[in-house]
Structure 1
Amino acid sequence: MMIDLIGGGSLGLLYGGKLAAAGADVRLWCRTPEQAAKLASRGITIRDADGGTESQAKAGSFFAGPLEGFAEAWTARPGRWILLMTKQKDTEEASRMSAGRLASGKRATDHPPGVVCFQNGYGHMEKLEKLLPGWPLYAAVTTEGAKRADACEVVHAGAGTTWLGPAGREHARHMEERPEELVQMLQKAGFSAVLANDIDRRIYRKLLVNSVINPLTALWNVPNGELLASSERLRTMSMLLQEALAVYDASGIAWEEDIWDQILEVCRATAGNISSMLKDVRNGAETEIDWINGAVIGLANQAGVRAPLHELMVGLVKGLSIREE
């Protein structure tokens, strides 16, 4: 069972490294040839939160290559699964460069691989449906904590759970292809992986959590746990959540009664973690604000209501960096 992972970031290194170390047949596709060359020569090292070696995938135990070579390699040796590990903002482009080249022209196949999307936020599945019509598409929600240290090393900051399932009614038909083999391989690699038939609910739950935590950590330049440090911060978090819940109500999206307590627990459990949005701001990189708080705004627009606080979050986070047109 060949598994192709698209993206050599924190999740790509974590999942690719642990899968390869467990004996899975892995190909890891990177944005740059330079990272691919380093991975081919050094392998992948996964550190625990204390800096010790948790796992290693030695050089030669997996294939690493630049994304441009994916389609040719897949055509020569088809894979069973494609795990999209890029950030939301890069997903469409990475998909076009990889699976998209298989879905068009001479590379089309009657038996396309299953595609599993690990992105935060909401809205990317609809774009992939158009890019990969008729392909079995799955969404993944994970609470694994990972931070890339360099091109070949990742820190496993905290163990979590990975849920996989078909997102939306249009993909429910693929549940008959239940990906037990992939879930079992992830479990063999040491992940807590679960096949879920309620993945949409989990996606919407994670969107709520991220839309409250991520922009505020980015704006206040604090780790997750510091959001609980004052009543003013808690009040702002609550206001963001209440507005998002009103949008969910207007959209007919169910939410859990204890979601506020869940958000507080995420802050406590990841107290020392730097959110991906804050990391992007510090690095001067484009954030995922349009796919997180922007997704809440999109739901509000579809329901005919407003989400002014989330609109403010988008403007403020984008205003942290000024780029020339």
Structure 2
Amino acid sequence: MILANDSTSANSTLLKQVSIVGAGAIGQLIYHQLSTAVSASKIAVNVISRAEHSQLQPLTFTSLDNTESTQTAEFVGLNDYAQQLPKTDLLIVCVKAYQVCAALKTIIPMLSAECHILLLHNGMGPHLDVAQMLNGQSLSLGTTSQAALKQSLWHTKQTGKGVTQLGILQLPKHFKALESSSQQKSSAQKTLPESLKNILLTAIPQSQWSEDILTMLWQKLAINVAINPLTAIHNCQNGQLAHEQYSDTIIAAVTELVKVANAEHISLELPSVLNRVYQVITLTADNYSSMHQDVQHQRTTEIDSINGFVVQMAKLHGIATPQNQHLVDEIKCLELQYHR
């Protein structure tokens, strides 16, 4: 656990604890960034574990300049949830998209109503379900293009810089009707405390606060709907997608996404979005996408929260998305082959 010395600002003394759900590569990266940033303040940073008992776990981190450091993290076990979770002021969720709701089902009831939850995962969709699970807590969303790889279970290496965008969730009007009046009232009264916002923006390099985080997430989703499934299906690095043979599929998938985003009152323009997709393909030419890696290691992919989310939202507006549906179907077929 990282604790503060006595030289603390008035803002930070109001904070007790930041907790991270998910100790994958990104979760461990965020842990090291946060624990380093708050080392001179009265803030504890811990990791919420699925193990029965709490334990202290050394976490090793290798930075971009190959400097190695180790910090001892407190992993909070199930037996201590009732004691520790009510102290959490900020809960950062770094699990896979399809794991978010299951992870938060037991956690949210134990959180203070004053706690703020930040979802930091690939794809979109879980935020709509989590918004219905809240007991007064406020909710933010984030996206990061920082890159990290696990060298071993408790050793993570940062492999790339990247921008991290964060912002308070503002649900579209047609989803607010799903919320109870009490949830609407509590959510409307809350914004992210400046002390929490400052900690995040100070700790995470190249981080930005966005007043329109949903637009940022749709822009990121446009990149993912093109790169992730195609690199997984064709077993290739991102750069191969610059070849002409993939252009029709990329254009079709992104065109469908832009239509759905516009129907959701998210202002995206097809030429600029396509230009950004191809920029990322070029900039990350030597990289393998996360979905490619999931398929290669026979893991469940996040296709339902990427192309699948486009298909899901399209149905609400009566928009046809045959290309995105086809990509979903192809990835599902690959997943079925794991067990043959």
Coarse TM-score class (shorter-chain normalised): 0.7 to 0.9
**Counterparts of 2:273 and 2:105, CA distance in 1:** 36
1:136–1:174: 8 Å Cα contact kept in structure 2? no
* Gap runs ≥5 in structure 1: 104-108
Q: What TM-score results when the alignment is normalised by the length of structure 1?
A: 0.85
**Counterparts of 1:231 and 1:175, CA distance in 2:** 51
Q: What TM-score results when the alignment is normalised by the length of structure 2?
A: 0.82
Q: Which amino acid in structure 2 is aligned with residue 43 of structure 1?
A: L
**Counterparts of 1:147 and 1:297, CA distance in 2:** 30
Q: Which amino acid in structure 1 is aligned with residue 224 of structure 2?
A: N
2:52–2:79: 8 Å Cα contact kept in structure 1? no
Does residue 62 of structure 2 align to residue 42 of structure 1?
A: no
For the structure 1 residues 30 and 47, does the alpha-carbon distance in structure 2 shift closer, same or farther, using more than 3 Å as the test? Answer: farther
Q: Which amino acid in structure 2 is aligned with residue 63 of structure 1?
A: E
Does residue 82 of structure 2 align to residue 72 of structure 1?
A: yes
Secondary structure of the 2:248 match is helix
Q: Deviations over 1:214-262 (max 9, x none)?
A: 100110111212211x211233212221222233344443204411111
Does residue 20 of structure 2 align to residue 5 of structure 1?
A: yes
**Counterparts of 2:324 and 2:80, CA distance in 1:** 38
Which residue, 240, 244, 247 being the options, matches 2:260? Answer: 247
2:98–2:126: 8 Å Cα contact kept in structure 1? no
**Counterparts of 1:158 and 1:25, CA distance in 2:** 27
Q: Alignment identity in percent?
A: 24
* Gap runs ≥5 in structure 2: 1-14, 177-183
1:114–1:138: 8 Å Cα contact kept in structure 2? yes
1:281–1:320: 8 Å Cα contact kept in structure 2? yes
Does residue 107 of structure 2 align to residue 98 of structure 1?
A: yes
Aligned residues: 307
Mapping of residues 134-149 of structure 1, within 5 Å: 134-149=136-151
Counterpart in 1 of 2:168? Answer: 166
Q: What is the Cα deviation at residue 176 of structure 1?
A: 5.5
Does residue 46 of structure 2 align to residue 27 of structure 1?
A: yes
Q: Which amino acid in structure 1 is aligned with residue 166 of structure 2?
A: L
**Counterparts of 1:243 and 1:191, CA distance in 2:** 33
**Counterparts of 2:51 and 2:83, CA distance in 1:** 16
1:70–1:98: 8 Å Cα contact kept in structure 2? no
Counterpart in 1 of 2:3? Answer: none
Mapping of residues 106-145 of structure 1, within 5 Å: 109=112, 111-145=113-147
Mapping of residues 258-273 of structure 1, within 5 Å: 258-273=272-287
For the structure 1 residues 30 and 84, does the alpha-carbon distance in structure 2 shift closer, same or farther, using more than 3 Å as the test? Answer: same
**Counterparts of 2:61 and 2:136, CA distance in 1:** 37
Q: Which moved more, 1:270-279 or 1:4-13?
A: 270-279
Q: What is the Cα deviation at residue 28 of structure 1?
A: 1.2
Q: Which amino acid in structure 1 is aligned with residue 137 of structure 2?
A: W
Q: Deviations over 1:166-186 (max 9, x none)?
A: 122468956863343233223
